[in-house]
Amino acid sequence: MRHALGDVTPAPVAGPLRLPLARWLAIYWIPWPRGRIQGPPDAFVTPPAEWGRDVDTLVGFVERFAARDAEARWPDHALFGRMSGRDWGTFCHKHFDHHLRQFGC
């Protein structure tokens, strides 16, 4: 969520996912693989702390994310490059769904 909100800016990673068609396929069409997906390493900089505090922090991020104007300029993604608010919304939905399924939710 820090990446999506622009609170952290991971270094851009060159690759085919930056191409518009590949980005669109990855975000909107291709199902995510089961198990661990390799993201940009500097996007994961916050170690877990106390569960309740971590949940509260996440809820705050989700509220900030939901309050953003979808038509506003959104941060670039380290792997996908330029993304719209709709792109970020779909990506974050799939990301949350991926993790919730990992834990049987």
- The pLDDT, as a whole number, for residue 98 is 84
Domain count, the chain: 1
Residue 7 lies in a domain: yes
Residue 18 lies in a domain: yes
Residue 97 lies in a domain: yes
Residue 40 lies in a domain: no
67 CA to centre of own chain: 16
Confidence of residue 101 (pLDDT cuts 50, 70, 90): confident
Closest-CA residue to 16 (of 83, 95, 80):
80
Residue 41 lies in a domain: no
* pTM, two decimal places: 0.84
Confidence of residue 7 (pLDDT cuts 50, 70, 90): very high
Model confidence pLDDT, tens digit, residues 48-59: 788 899 999 999
Residue 93 structural domain: 2-35+50-102
